[in-house]
Amino acid sequence: MKIFVTNEKLDNWVREVAALCGPDAIHWCDGSKQEYDRLMAQMVESGAATPLRRRPNSFLFRSDPSDVARTEERTFIATPSKEEAGPTNNWIAPDELKRTMTGLSRGCMAGRTLYVIPFSMGPIGSPIAKIGVQITDSPYVVCNMHIMTRMGTRVMEALGPHGDFIPCLHSVGAPLAKGQKDLSWPCAPMEKKYVSHFPQENLIWSYGSGYGGNALLGKKCLALRIASAMARREGWMAEHMLITRLTSPAGRRYHIAAAFPSACGKTNLAMLLPTIPGWKTECIGEDIAWMKIGPDGRLRAINPESGFFGVAPGTSHKSNPMAMESVKQNVIFTNCALTDDGDIWWEGMEGAPPAHAIDWLGRDWSPGRKEPAAHPNARFTTPAAQCPVICGDWEKPEGVPIDIFIFGGRRSSVVPLVTEAFDWDHGVFLGATAASETTAAVIGKVGVLRRDPFAMTPFCGYNMADYFSHWFDMGDKLGGKAPRIFYVNWFRKSPEGKWLWPGFGENSRVLKWMCERLEGRAGAKKTPIGYLPGEGDLDLTGLDLPAENICELLKFDREAWKAEVPDIERFFGQFGDRLPERLKRQQRGLAERLEKDV
C-alpha cells in the first residue's frame, strides 16, 4: 500500500534508498493487524514460519546457523576520529564505512519488497519519545517491529510534514534473481554482515543479518547506541536498564531503574513477584530506559519499546513466571524447539523434556542428544501489554520518577549482596566498575572477570570516558533530587560452590531495604566500599537461611578488595587522559579507605 506522505525529507530518502537497493516493490507499513496477519500468512506459505497449535496467533522461525545473535565484531561506530568512538567500540571512518555500505546495498533488494516502517520509540507524542523510520526487505523484521514498537499511520501523523526522524536502513543482503527460490532465512555470510552507526548524523545502516538487534534497528541500535550519543548532546539519558515500580503495604510507590550485564537476572527483576507480604511490583520495562529531567526537577523514565525481546532458554515458571505468562499467545519465537503437539520448548523450561522434538536446526531431537534442542540465544518477541504485572502507567507520556538506580554483576565472591553508594559520584564509580565473571554462554572461558560499565559496553555510541562524564553532569543537574544508587550481587557462593542467596522473588527483601533507606527507616554500617546492611537490617522473616549465609553475603573482605584495585586501575587506564578526574578521585578514595579503618 502507499500512504500519503507529506514529509518531503522522508519521501526523498525512501526514493534514494529505492534507487540504490532496487526492490521489486515498495510497501508503506500502516501498523494494522490486517497487515501483520497478511505478512505472517505469506511467511507461513513460504515455509519461513511455523504456526503453533498450542499458542494462539504464535509462530516459530528458525534462523540460518550463521545468524543467531548480535554480531558485536561486525558492529561499527563511525565518528570523525577514532578517539571519539573510544576503546570499547569498533571504529571506521564515516566516509570509508559509507563507501562500503553503499557498495553492499547496490541492488541488494532485487526480487524483494522494500518495507517502510515509521515507528515511535516511546509513547507517541511523549516529550521523551523519538521517531524513527526503518527501511527493510524482511517481512520477519516488519512483524517483529509491529510488536516491539508503536508503528504505522499514527506515527506518520505525529511526524507531520516537518518532523524529524532517525533513518534506519536494513537489508538481509540476499538479492533474488528472477525465478530464484528464496531461502526460509535469507542472510549474507558473516564477513559481509555490517551493523553501522553514524552518531553525528543519527543514521543506522545494517546489512546482511536478519536477527534480533542487528535487524530490529529500533532496539539496541537506535534506543542505545544512537540514543546515547543524542542524549549526551541534548542533556538526557539512554540506558540499558529495566524499570519497575515497587509499592509498599502503606501504598508508597518507588520507581527503580537497574542495569545488569547478560546472565544476571535483569528480566527476572523487572517482573519480580515479591515474597514479602504486602509488597507489590509492576513492570514498566525490562531492557531499556530513556530518562529526562521533568518540570519538577526529578528524573523521569519511559520504556521506549512496546514489547519484550527475551532470551528463552532458562526462562521457566520458577525463574520468571510472569515472562512465561506473557508468551501464551501473539508471540514470535525464534530458534526454539518444536514439539510434536505443536508447541515450543527450550532448555530450562519446567517439567520433563519432550520425548521427541524438532530442534532449532530442523533436525529430530530427543533427550540425551549432546546438542541442545533450542539455541542458547533463542528468543521470544511478545507484546509488553500481555505481561500480567505490567504497570498501569507504563505508557505514561511524561514517564515515572526514578527513586533508585541499581547496578550489579555476577560475582561468586568479593562483592556483597547489596551495597549503597556514599553519594552520586561514588554511585557513578560503582556503575563504572561493574563486573561479572563470565559464563560459558557469554564468552567461552568460564570465570574470567569482565568489566561492563553500566552494562553499556556493547551499546555506548561514543567514547565511554565521555559517557562517564555525562553521568557526572546529570548528577550535577539533578542535585538533591538525584536517585540513590545501589549495587547488588545475587550470585555469591560458599567455598564449596553452593549458592548463598535464593534469589528470584526473595530479591524483594533487598529492594525493601533500599526503599527503607530512602525513608531513613533502615540501618546500615559504613565500610570502605559503601553502606552495607547491618545485623537485623534486612527483613528475613519467613526465610529459612542459615545465619552463616547471611554473614558471608554481607561480609566486607578488605584483602579481597585490595586485590580488586589493580584491576580497576588497569581497566580505567585504557581511557587515558579522557577519564574524568572525578572518577580518578573515586578510585584513589577507595584505595585510601582500604588502607585505613573507616
- Residues with a catalytic annotation lie at 264
Cα within 13 Å of Cα(589), Cβ side:
17
User: Contact at 8 Å (CB) between 580 and 465?
Assistant: yes
Amino acid of residue 202: N
Rounded Cα gap, residues 81 and 52, in angstroms: 49
Spatial neighbors of 579 by CB under 8 A, at least 6 apart, are 465, 468, 572
Strand order, beta sheet including 49-51: 49-51, 59-61, 332-334, 379-383, 307-311
The residue among 361, 373, 378, 357 whose CA lies nearest residue 312 is 378
Spatial neighbors of 211 by CB under 8 A, at least 6 apart, are 63, 67, 68, 69, 70, 187, 334
Which residues on adjacent β-strands are paired with residue 60?
50, 333
User: Contact at 8 Å (CB) between 298 and 344?
Assistant: no
Helix axes 424-432, 464-478, angle to 10 degrees: 160
Instruction: Label residue 373 left, alpha or beta by phi (over 0 means left) and psi (-120 to 50 means alpha).
Output: alpha
- The DSSP code sequence of 126-168 is -TT-EEEEEEES-HHHHHHHHHHSEESHHHHHHHTTT---EEE
Work out the angle at residue 452's Cα, subtended by the Cα atoms of residues 450 and 458, and round it to the nearest 5 degrees. Answer: 115
Element at 501 (helix H, strand E): none
Helix (H, G, I), strand (E, B) or coil at 254: strand
Work out the angle at residue 458's Cα, subtended by the Cα atoms of residues 453 and 464, and round it to the nearest 5 degrees. Answer: 50
User: Contact at 8 Å (CB) between 172 and 115?
Assistant: no
Spatial neighbors of 565 by CB under 8 A, at least 6 apart, are 587, 590, 591, 594
Sign of the C-alpha dihedral, residues 557, 558, 564, 569? Answer: positive
Rounded Cα gap, residues 511 and 514, in angstroms: 5
Cα within 13 Å of Cα(242), Cβ side:
31
**Grid cell for residue 266:** 535483569
Which residues on adjacent β-strands are paired with residue 237?
291
**Grid cell for residue 415:** 562483592
Give the 3-state secondary structure of 66-89: CCCCCCHHHEEECCCCHHHHCCCC
**Grid cell for residue 378:** 533463542
Rounded Cα gap, residues 220 and 213, in angstroms: 6
